[in-house]
Structure 1
Amino acid sequence: MNIKRKSEFFIISSICLLSFLTCHKIPTIKLRDFPFQKNIEPSHTLEFPVDSDWFNTKEPLTKDKLLGKVVFLNFLSYTCINCEHILQDLKSIERKWSNELAVITIYSDRNYSKEKNEIVRQAILLNDIDHPVVIDKDFSLWQTYNLNSWPTLIIIHPNGEILGQFSGEDIFQSLDSIVSEVVKDSESSDTLNRNKTLPLKKTIEPERLLYFPEKLAIDAKEKLLYVSDSKNNRILKIHIESGEILESIGSGYSGNKDGDYDSSEFNHPQGIFLKDKSLFVADTKNHSIRKIHLEKKVVETIAGNFSRARTIHLPGFGKNVNLSSPKDILELQGTLYIAMSGHHQIWKMDLKTSEIDLFIGSGNNNLLDGNFKDASLSHPYRMTYHDNTLYFTDRETNAIRSAKLIQEKVDTLAGKGIFESGDVDGIFPKTRLQNPSDLFYHDGLIYFSDSQNHKIKTLNPITKEIKTLIHSKNFDETVHANKDNSFEPSGISLFQNKIYFADIKNHSIRILDLKTKELSELKIKTHLNIFKNKNSFYDKFQTYKLKEIKISPKSNFLNLNIRLSKGFSWKYNSPFYFKKTSLNENAVKFLSPKEEYLQRPKFPVSFPIQTISENSEIQIHSVLYYNKLNQPLQELLKKVQIQIKVIVDRYGVVNPTVDLEI
């Protein structure tokens, strides 16, 4: 449904529903008054399939648990940009009506597989969803309520009757009025129960070095890798060969402050683009474009005023213009191109004058080729450029499109439409993708990440032929991924004939050698304390006092081997923390940084040391992440302090190993 039709439908629905609430007692409203819900029997409302998978709850929700509350059933898709927007409006309504309202988000997917549970869990974390979430595995709930678009809200009275539905976004004021009227009526009819509570259990994870990394930008000359660390609300500067985090840009807290690296704030930054000594950032949930001055070490807002645009297009200058969920940026000859996902368009900004204007797209959410003005896009996500042509991924239509700048014409290279997805190589129009993400042009081909097919593929822009380059299943022994041994590629870039890509699922950076086809991982580490909760992170370590060891003065390493009890496994996609202390450095001295964060450490971990003489006590603080084998999605944390007395002896062990089972 395009935005204009959404708006018209939304207004009509609002008027109809509000008139019913004003002119009729709510319990007397009959389902026949709502023809779009004529297939729903009253006894079937608030019923969910018994095999449904739930999140953010201790147990599945039933009708009995929900009666007594005003209920919103919020139908979403995890690639729908308008669905992201409605979640923000719902947060405001939930805060205001916390005792009267229950919101349930329903992710509907006609191509359900068990793997989609992990995708939904990621969506919950990315969008900070606190209320219950359920997966509509086979579209049964979607069909029951006779729906035809995302996002759609079904509104249910505390007595269980359906009142109406809304499709679209920007709904706070209307829904706030409706909830107020329903609450008044249900109080008079004694059907509202403010004291009833739902069995909630929020999906949470500990802090990570990388948390949903999105886009990459490479400074080949300086051998630097910039990463938009989206959920950590920061940009990381990493040495591309050692994996050492050199600088963290942004405090890590969600906000919109400009300033130096430590005090500035971002809100889910995604697209980044490196140009000379500046790094441009699409600060998606701030609805703004930021510029990082790499020499001055300062963050500046250059476009957007941190408020989401409600109209399709309103030209203007710099910070006076409202933007809508910019997902990527690309600079060409003084013009900054912006993937304005919230409006299904591409905008442009003159960096000299700061003038911002529409560039491509009618604003209709669809897959329609043609001239720049009339073409329809659908959640433009990432962009690249070659030979007077912009190439971009269209996320909701699972498509890759081209925009020829001279001819001003949009053409589809892969993809068919919003409800068409799959994993089919070959030649257009037979090819199918599933949520393609980032892309770059190299040597006649477009390399792109076909994210939810867990593949990196190539596309010939002339013949429109797609071929799979790698699939995560080919690398089960090397990726150390989640239980299904798969990666989910997002940001993708080229350096020295190697593809670097962000594995958004496993919160890591991987490297594919194009010559050898070998896949490896960039081991991210740092001696910086870049976590937000800097104090509580180091509290409450459990102490283990181990027996003394004799160490040879010829030793160059001290090895630490920590083992888990039976029934547990390491959760390698979190940053393991190690702090090493020698109370007598004349005896034993650690040569590596005192504090380190290691991504995916392989036990035993080796620490470089220098041994001289005498005795010392060594202390190693470590923060470890693991899970139960039968609960792979639940992450557990263990803080240990290891104390060992060390005697330097010429008959001691060379490079000894300290062993501990927890």
Structure 2
Amino acid sequence: MSTTPTLPKVRASELVGRGWLNTGGRELKLADLRGKIVVLDFWTFCCLNCLHVLDELRELEEAHRDVLVIVGVHSPKFAHEADPEALAAAVERYDVRHPVLDDPELVTWDAYTARAWPTLVVVDPQGYVVAQMAGEGHASAVAALVRELVAEHEAKGTLHRGDGPYVAPTPEPTTVRFPAAAVELPGGNLLVADAGHHGLAELAPDGETLVRRIGSGERGLVDGGPAPDGTHAARFSEPNGLCLVPDALRDRLGYDVLVADTVNHTLRGVHLESGEVYTVAGTGRQYMVGGHENVEVPGEQPRAHVSDEELAATTVRLSSPWDVAWSEPLSAFVVAMAGNHTLWVFDPVASDGDGSLRLLAGTMNEGLEDGPGAAAWFAQPSRLAPTLDTDRRPDGGFWLADAETSALRRVTPAGAADVDVSTAVGQGLYDFGHRDGTAAEALLQHPLGVATLPDGSAVVADTYNGALRRYDPRSGEVTTLATGLAEPSDVLVQEGEGRVHLLAVESAAHRLTRVALPADLVGRVLDGGAHRVAREATEIAGGTVRLEVPFTPAPGQKLDDRFGPSTELRISATPPELLLDGAGDGTDLVRDLRIDPAVAEGVLHVTAKAASCDLPPQDAVLGPDGEPEDFFPACHLAQQDWGVPVTVTADGAATLTLPLRG
């Protein structure tokens, strides 16, 4: 691998924004944090990769609160995320336990030249930037750097121990907290994925009266059921999607509901009568794209996943499963794997009844690409709903809410084991809004939910527009059914007495709300405008542009080439004509691109990965082969996808630097 430049050591820029959260109303300045190690976490609450980083840093944050201050710098992608009330709700929803700077104009984002969500910047106790990292998988690197900085600055007398500026908010009690999804149970009760309470809530048909809770209410991954004292042993972590198990399978499987336990990276089975909870898929560890160790078999060394393998369900790492839905043609559940932009198949009776998993669709690249499942691109696939044929019967396909592309996709069976993917509504990662009309001109904003109406049309929980929208596949028209909802994340279609009602899961309002459909199912036609992500485009020159992705292994680690090349770089462009040369895959983190000066603007899509492993201890005993004995180095994978908007100008930059870890 060619060497890449290290980042220069510079003074950290001031933290400038609209205001602060989690500080008790106090405005913070960098000078207030002098003497502490500061980690700036540039995030936006729509971004699942950002939420992964929040989870990666929790243990480090708790272990070093006397010397370490994490500051979340919220730099929004979507218009809704710039709403201060929406940000306050997100900080509570995701249990953020550090100060958060509201940066709606991207002032601090630009000052630190961030180019990707998420980005971490480490500032030493004297106010100097010592590292910048993009993407996921940096927890071990940050931990090692914190240990080094503590030792260095304690020796210099520049480290100040003591409490940080975090002030915990006091949430108002509610029956459900940030509900994510709901299903109707036999008998009419409702089962709700109560994400904010890390459990499930069974409600009466009125959608308000609590019948029981399933789960202890504490974040964690624990199986079990209710105890005689009324407590519940099971633990979840922000459960999301719910799916009823087909009647014919319930006795055989021993559970009635399948749950996408999103932050635990698992699927859980729930037996309704007993309240018992079981882990049926996943290991509890996240699947890192490109990772060397994604399959864990007891008694064996962890190994890499092969995409066309059928894997024992409890041995493969998942990545933020968001929803599950039964597929009759596949005789299995389809899993929307939001964390790595894919769809998977969970067969609960394969492998002698232990269940299996296999990849169904998606390349693990983030974007909007249609075609055969193996070539399709998704972007945080979120909710699934069955499609209907012309006789209004399930045809084996699915509607899919594809959140980050603000799109409604259609997944259609193609043979016994494959699917085709098409886009009904949506234009890509950077275009969104609230606009009705033909599918080609209609716009959504980060939809998380979708359901199927009796006439075969799709009703979309258009989350960041606070709306329910309808797409009619026969006319190709999009209309608005309801507005003014608080981040609807799911919607149920309920039929009875000749009427159809919608039950919206209003996540940010902590409630379920019934919405009557218009008699003619048309709704109001709205045009709330179109938006593009507000990030400034990077000016680059036509001709040769050198792309550099600096990566430095963490202290105590080295590049890991045990299983092949330790680094990978993938580059493409929208439009493809922007790149005359330089597209494709390689292992070098430096590449010369040839930019067409006749293409005025576009987006460079860059994916970088780097694997490192622990160095042996200095006193390790070497074996006959010269390798340390009884030493099994852990693998650490860093990865990031950048979508860099660019404009091509005569005096644009001839070098583009995207630090993976510098």
> Would the TM-score normalized by the shorter structure come out above 0.5?
yes
Aligned residue type for 2:334: Y
1:48 maps to which residue? 16
Q: Tell me the CA shift for residue 459 of structure 1.
A: 1.0
Query: 2:347 matched to 1:347?
Result: no
CA distance in 2, matches of 1:91, 1:488: 26
Q: CA 1:242–1:59 in 2, change beyond 3 Å: closer, same or farther?
A: closer
1:466 maps to which residue? 478
Q: What does 1:62-77 align with in structure 2 at a 5 Å threshold?
A: 62-77=29-44
Aligned residue type for 1:179: V
1:302 maps to which residue? 280
Q: Which structure has the bigger radius of gyration?
A: 1
1:489 maps to which residue? 488
**Please, which moves more after superposition, 149-158 or 93-102?**
93-102
Q: CA 1:137–1:12 in 2, change beyond 3 Å: closer, same or farther?
A: farther
- Give the 3-state SS of the residue equivalent to 2:318 in structure 1: coil
Conserved? CA contact 1:399–1:412, under 8 Å: yes
CA distance in 1, matches of 2:15, 2:320: 34
1:223 maps to which residue? 188
2:133 maps to which residue? 166
- Give the 3-state SS of the residue equivalent to 1:128 in structure 2: coil
1:506 maps to which residue? 509
Q: What does 1:414-493 align with in structure 2 at a 5 Å threshold?
A: 414-442=425-453, 443-472=455-484, 486-493=485-492
CA distance in 2, matches of 1:175, 1:199: 20
CA distance in 2, matches of 1:149, 1:60: 26
CA distance in 2, matches of 1:242, 1:138: 39
Q: What does 1:535-550 align with in structure 2 at a 5 Å threshold?
A: none
Query: How far does the alpha carbon of each residue in 1:239-271 deviate from its partner, in whole angstroms, 9 at most, with x for none?
Result: 314843333222222232222243322221110
Q: Tell me the CA shift for residue 111 of structure 1.
A: 5.3
CA distance in 2, matches of 1:286, 1:86: 14
TM-score of the superposed pair, with normalisation by structure 1: 0.67
Q: Tell me the CA shift for residue 12 of structure 1.
A: 8.2
Q: Tell me the CA shift for residue 191 of structure 1.
A: 2.9
2:108 maps to which residue? 141
CA distance in 2, matches of 1:498, 1:511: 7
User: Aligned match of 1:394 in 389, 402, 411?
Assistant: 402
1:239 maps to which residue? 204
Q: Tell me the CA shift for residue 439 of structure 1.
A: 0.8
- Give the 3-state SS of the residue equivalent to 1:99 in structure 2: coil
Query: 2:316 matched to 1:321?
Result: yes
CA distance in 2, matches of 1:218, 1:517: 25
Aligned length: 470
Aligned residue type for 1:105: G
- Give the 3-state SS of the residue equivalent to 2:489 in structure 1: strand
Conserved? CA contact 2:367–2:377, under 8 Å: yes
Query: How far does the alpha carbon of each residue in 1:370-406 deviate from its partner, in whole angstroms, 9 at most, with x for none?
Result: 2211211111111111223221111122111111112
Q: CA 1:517–1:503 in 2, change beyond 3 Å: closer, same or farther?
A: farther
Unaligned runs of 5+ in 2: 227-231, 251-255, 295-304, 388-394, 522-662
Q: Tell me the CA shift for residue 123 of structure 1.
A: 1.7
User: Aligned match of 1:200 in 166, 171, 174?
Assistant: 166
Q: CA 1:292–1:398 in 2, change beyond 3 Å: closer, same or farther?
A: same
Aligned residue type for 1:378: A
Q: Tell me the CA shift for residue 469 of structure 1.
A: 0.7
Query: 2:375 matched to 1:405?
Result: no
2:216 maps to which residue? 251
Q: CA 1:395–1:254 in 2, change beyond 3 Å: closer, same or farther?
A: same
CA distance in 2, matches of 1:202, 1:503: 24
- Give the 3-state SS of the residue equivalent to 1:181 in structure 2: helix
Conserved? CA contact 1:107–1:136, under 8 Å: yes
Aligned residue type for 1:360: A
Aligned residue type for 2:340: H
Unaligned runs of 5+ in 1: 1-7, 21-28, 32-41, 473-485, 519-662
TM-score of the superposed pair, with normalisation by structure 2: 0.67
Query: How far does the alpha carbon of each residue in 1:400-429 deviate from its partner, in whole angstroms, 9 at most, with x for none?
Result: 111111273211222222232221122233
Query: How far does the alpha carbon of each residue in 1:452-504 deviate from its partner, in whole angstroms, 9 at most, with x for none?
Result: 211111012355421111112xxxxxxxxxxxxx5332221111211111111
Q: Tell me the CA shift for residue 189 of structure 1.
A: 3.9
Q: CA 1:359–1:175 in 2, change beyond 3 Å: closer, same or farther?
A: same
Conserved? CA contact 2:343–2:362, under 8 Å: yes
2:334 maps to which residue? 337
CA distance in 2, matches of 1:179, 1:372: 43
- Give the 3-state SS of the residue equivalent to 1:444 in structure 2: coil
Q: Tell me the CA shift for residue 194 of structure 1.
A: 2.2
CA distance in 2, matches of 1:60, 1:364: 39
Conserved? CA contact 2:81–2:87, under 8 Å: no
- Give the 3-state SS of the residue equivalent to 2:368 in structure 1: coil
Q: CA 1:516–1:204 in 2, change beyond 3 Å: closer, same or farther?
A: farther
Conserved? CA contact 1:104–1:132, under 8 Å: yes
Query: How far does the alpha carbon of each residue in 1:338-381 deviate from its partner, in whole angstroms, 9 at most, with x for none?
Result: 11111111111112111101111000122222221121111111
- Give the 3-state SS of the residue equivalent to 1:78 in structure 2: coil
Conserved? CA contact 2:405–2:428, under 8 Å: yes
User: Aligned match of 2:84 in 103, 110, 117?
Assistant: 117
CA distance in 2, matches of 1:151, 1:242: 36
CA distance in 2, matches of 1:57, 1:284: 30
- Give the 3-state SS of the residue equivalent to 2:113 in structure 1: coil
Query: 2:370 matched to 1:369?
Result: yes
CA distance in 1, matches of 2:54, 2:208: 36
Query: How far does the alpha carbon of each residue in 1:423-442 deviate from its partner, in whole angstroms, 9 at most, with x for none?
Result: 11222332221121111112
Conserved? CA contact 1:284–1:326, under 8 Å: yes
CA distance in 2, matches of 1:516, 1:464: 20
- Give the 3-state SS of the residue equivalent to 1:436 in structure 2: coil
Q: CA 1:517–1:74 in 2, change beyond 3 Å: closer, same or farther?
A: farther
